[in-house]
Structure 1
Amino acid sequence: MNRRDFLKLAGVSLLSLAALTMGCGSFNAAKADAPAPKVKQSTSEGASQNMNNGKKILVAYFSWSGNTKAVAEEIHKQVGGDIVEIVPATPYSETYSVTVAKAKAEQAANARPAISTKIADFEQYDTIYLGYPNWWGSMPMPVATFIDTYKMSGKKVAPFFTHGGGGVQRCMSDLKARAQGANFTDYLCLSGSSAKNSQGEITSWVKKTQN
C-alpha cells in the first residue's frame, strides 16, 4: 500500500469513528431525558439547608399530567433543598380514561403499587414538602407506597395538592391518617388549570410553612 492509499484509508477510518462517537453522544442525550426517580440535589453547596435554621429539606411529588410537577419545581426554586419525583415502577397510561379507571381500582383495593423512587438517606431530612393530585378524592396510591416506605414520624410535612375541581376533599385527612406522627403545616391546594401560574400563592404559603 503506498502513502496516498494509506492516508485515504486512515481518513475514512477517522470519519467513521467520529460518526460513531456522535451517534453515541446523541443516544446518551436521549437517555438523559428519561424520568429520573432518584433525588436531584441542589447545585449550590449547602442549598439543602437554606431554610428553617439550616434544617434539610426534601420536595417529593407525584405528578401525572405535569401540574403537580410545576408546583413542586416552583416550591423547590423557592425553598432550595433536594427534589424527587415519586415514580411508579409500572407507568400509568397516557390515556386519561385508562388511568382514571386504574386509579379507582387501586384505591378501592387499598393497593400499594411499586415505586422506583430511591432515597439513600431519608433520615437526614427535617422538612418534607409532599405533593400530589387529588385522585378520586384522595391520594394516588403510589404516594401511599412512598409514605409506607419512608416514615415521616417526627418530621415537618408541608402538603400541597392539585385538583380538577374537587378541591382538597380527603387529601389532607388521609395523609394525616397514613403519616402518623408527622408535624403538619397548613396545606396548599391549587386547581390544575392555575398550577403553572401560581407563583404568588405558592410564595405566600411557603412563608407560612417557615413559621
Structure 2
Amino acid sequence: MKKIILILLSFMLVLSTVACTNNSNKSSATGQNKNTSTNVTESGTSNSSTGDKSNSNGSASAKTNEGSKKILIAYFSQTGTTKKAAERIQELTKGDIFEIKTATPYPEDYQKLADATKKEKDENARPKLATKVENMDDYDVIFVGYPIWWHTAPMAIDTFLESYNLSGKTIVPFCTSSSSDIKESMGAINTFGAKANILEGLTANNLNDIEPWLKKIGIIK
C-alpha cells in the first residue's frame, strides 16, 4: 500500500512540474509577442516621422523649382503681335497675364507712331501708364514682353520696370521685331533689373519657338 501511495505521489509531482513548465513557456512566448508588437509600433512611428521630414524636405525642394513659383507675364503690344506671344507663354506656363497700357495711346498711323516713339527715346521719357500690377510682391518670375522700337524697348517698359522693386525676382524678357534681336533692347531690363536674376530672352516672332525656349531656360519641363 505504501508503495502505491508513493507511486501516486510521484506521478502527481511529475504532472505538477510539467504544468508549471508549460505555463512558463506560454508566459515567455506572450512576452516576446508583446515586445515584437512594441518594436513594430516604434519602428512605424519612427518611419512615419522620417517620412514627414522627407515630405517636408520634398515640399521645400519643390518650391525652388520654377514650376512652383508664381509667374506674371507682363507685355506691351501696339499691333497685337507681342500680345500673341504673351498669350502663348501664358498658355504654357499657366501664369497670370497683364497688359502694360499707356495713359495716352500711341498713334495708329505708322509715321506718327515712329515720330512719337523716336521723340520719347531721344528725351529718355517715361510715359504714364494706365495699368498697374497691384500685387507685384506676390510674383517670383516676371516675363516682360514688348516690340522693339528704334533698336530698344518702348519707353513704357522703362516706366513699368521703374515702378516696382524687382530685387530677387527672376525676369524673363521676350520681344517681337522684324529686324532687331532682343540683345539690342536689353538696356532697360539690365538697368532696372540689376538686382534680379535675368534669364535668356527670346525674339518671339515665331510662336513655335516659345515652348522649346521655355524648356531651355527651365521654366517648364
Does the alignment reach a TM-score above 0.5? yes
1:209 equivalent to 2:214? Answer no
Contact 2:182 2:202 in 1 (8 A): no
In the TM superposition, residue 152 of structure 1 has moved relative to its aligned partner by 1.5
Whether 1:84 aligns to 2:98 is yes
Given the alignment of the two structures, is residue 142 of structure 1 paired with residue 150 of structure 2, yes or no?
A: no
Q: Deviations over 1:70-92 (max 9, x none)?
A: 10000000001100000000000
**Unaligned stretches of 5+ residues in structure 2:** 1-62
CA contact (8 A) 1:158 1:209 kept: no
The alpha carbon displacement at 1:53 in A equals 4.3
**Residue number in structure 2 paired with 1:171:** 185
Task: Give the alignment of 1:1-211 within 5 angstroms.
Answer: 52-190=66-204, 195=205, 198-210=206-218
* Amino acid of the structure 2 residue aligned with 1:108: D
Between the aligned partners of 1:78 and 1:118, the Cα distance in structure 2 is 24
Q: Where does the alignment leave 5 or more consecutive residues of structure 1 unmatched?
A: 1-48
Q: Relative to 1, partners in 2 of residues 1:53 and 1:63: Cα closer, same or farther, differing over 3 Å?
A: closer
Larger radius of gyration: 2
Distance change (3 Å), C-alpha of 1:169 and 1:188: closer
Q: Deviations over 1:171-190 (max 9, x none)?
A: 12442123211101111013
CA contact (8 A) 2:171 2:199 kept: yes
Comparing 123-132 and 147-156, the one that deviates more: 147-156
Give the % identical residues.
38
Structure 1 residue 169: Cα displacement: 4.9
The normalised TM-score by structure 2 is: 0.67
Displaced runs of 4 or more, over 6 A: none
Alignment partner, residue 25 of structure 2? none
SS in 1 for 2:68: coil
Measured on the aligned residues, the alpha-carbon RMSD in Å equals: 1.7
Q: TM-score, normalised by structure 1?
A: 0.70
Q: Which position in structure 1 is the counterpart of 2:22? A: none
Tell me if structure 2 keeps the 8 A contact 1:137–1:169: no
Count of residues in correspondence between the two structures = 156
Give the whole-Å Cα distance in 2 for the aligned partners of 1:126 and 1:69: 21
Compute the displacement of 1:139 (Å): 0.9
